[in-house]
Structure 1
């Protein structure tokens, strides 16, 4: 057996031991403890997903009077995105997954990540909380995986580009190589004339530092968490996509709880998400100032430049995704997002 294989066997064994408590029939326990895994450090200052997880934990434990407790496992303690997805499909746990984790099991969710889909935070909130296509996606996701998608968590604002040379418009990408989170970003970079290569989060800083890649895209939160300002000189606030992750709950776990406890978990998830949205959006200007003070040159594209980014990236993204999922998902998502944008605009003008 290879060293990698041995390490993975040890990981599986440790997981089985670690999950033994929650695999005991829930009715047999005086109190139910649920393990909750997610990316990033357990710091509220930098990690919005931790803000969500901690708030969720507090609400659940308070409202259930301790009959349900949550053990937080940040920093991907239960494995990488793909490993954690497999675990939440098999065991009664909670996992917060990124698009990277969803990619292999439910590519339909990528319809909600079409570039420049939302004009505002409010429009994204309306879409993810109440759009018809999200209701259909949730239902289909559970059908395919046996997992419940309770909330779409705002993780750090809209996505921006960082780079070693200025990027003011798509033509500035030509000839560059960028780190991609998934295949959808590779398609986007290609439309701009750049090449993209997927790299795990843990390798991004070094790749930027040694020039293996020239840039990357992430919300400002992750630019700070990753200390990319040390190895990237330029930041372009193109607001390409709404940055989110997905709260996933094993269905067997939910069915093992009482009706009241299930209701509390659902309500707590939504309340924690509202809390996190307020936190994330209140930090945007502070994060821009922080990065400027760290020496980054910050550029906000003009409306004409933004339109050009959209004109190039959106068709390329849709073409890529149409080869993977039914086009109906994409068309309904775009239509529902348009309605959400209009509704958000109407509310703003009231």
Structure 2
């Protein structure tokens, strides 16, 4: 009896947060590597911020490497279950294709412009409201995952004319449309098969931020890197809205502030590493080229309209027009 009484006293002595701790699963793509996977870097800092701010009342369980399923499966889980998910465009397109208006090639001139747009534009306010109404999912942050996207190839790419007759790996149909506008063929290839496809010549090139080029060891099978700043590389921090609403006001504030702080830390980390990553790729034998202003204008002149034409068949024109207008304002404000 004394032992039972002692146990009861110990339990009563525990902090309330420890007794009422809520464990939330958080899933995302890529390996649990702080250095090479910016999304994991974000996730670890988000977890730490949430748990500290709630004194352990909220515990975040991390599931990297898509352990909880494919992008589509994880999106379905986020709609129906009390979970957190970091989704790419490939995941969010199944429920919110309007988001692709933010991925128009050469939309942003700088990191600062992208931050202005994603953090406070009326377009993103509309996106958040639409996503919640349509799916029951809250978009907390747009997570910077690796800098701007660059082209790689086994021959020099200085302008759109250099794409003629080549085949490039595409992540989705929008990239196929852009490559075709440049005079190349685009072929969808899963990330897990990209290295072999480039090595065997199934594809002559691809595009990704330097982080992913390193993560996939693509420098071993690609000779040239073209820093064309094709698209801002980002993913989306999503939370089941019913889960968020079930938290106390203090906990909701803690989650939102943790997301914002972790994203600010991730942006600083990613952007501080870009030059070093490019230098690393050069040290591995890649020839690095930065297009001139005239060459960039050619890329934009051909690449943006082809993407927009592809997108018009999938979403209302008003989304495209608003994204282009507000991105232009963000570019002007950032200068």
TM-score normalized with structure 2 length:
0.93
Aligned-partner Cα distance in 1 for 2:192–2:245: 36
CA distance in 1, matches of 2:279, 2:52: 37
Structure 1 residue 207, shift from structure 2 partner:
1.2
**CA offsets, 1:279-310, max 9 Å, x none?**
00000110010000011111111111110000
Partner of 1:317: 307
Aligned residues: 318
CA distance in 2, matches of 1:62, 1:80: 30
After superposition, what is the alpha-carbon deviation per residue over 1:126-155, rounded to whole angstroms, capped at 9, x for unaligned? Answer: 000000011001111111111111100000
State the shift of 1:253 in Å.
Answer: 1.2
**For residues 179 and 105 of structure 1, what CA distance do their matches in structure 2 show?**
24
CA shift for structure 1 position 234:
0.8
Aligned residue number for residue 88 of structure 1: 78
Give the counterpart of 2:169 among 164, 172, 179.
Answer: 179
SS, match of residue 161 in structure 1: strand
Deviation at 1:165, TM superposition (A): 1.3
Are 1:147 and 2:137 an aligned pair? yes
1:222 corresponds to which of 198, 202, 212 = 212
Counterpart of 2:123 in structure 1 is 133
State the shift of 1:225 in Å: 0.4
Distance in 2 (CA, whole Å) between partners of 1:230 and 1:57 is: 35
Determine which of 58, 67, 75 is the counterpart of 1:68.
58
Give the 3-state SS of the residue equivalent to 1:331 in structure 2: helix
RMSD of aligned C-alpha atoms? 1.1
Alignment partners' CA distance in 2, 1:89 and 1:288: 38
Q: 1:200: Cα distance to partner?
A: 1.7
Q: Which residue of 1 aligns with 2:323?
A: 333
Runs (4+) of structure 1 moved beyond 6 Å? none
**Equivalent residue for 1:39, pick from 29, 48, 66:** 29
Rounded Cα–Cα distance in structure 1 between residues aligned with 2:70 and 2:187: 18
1:100 to 79, 90, 95: 90
Mark the runs of 5 or more structure 1 residues left unpaired by the alignment.
Answer: 1-26, 346-350
Residue 164 (structure 1) aligns with: 154
Shift of 1:311: 0.3
**Does residue 202 in structure 1 map to residue 192 in structure 2?**
yes
Q: Which runs of 5+ in 2 are unaligned?
A: 1-16
229, 232, 242: which is aligned to 1:239? 229
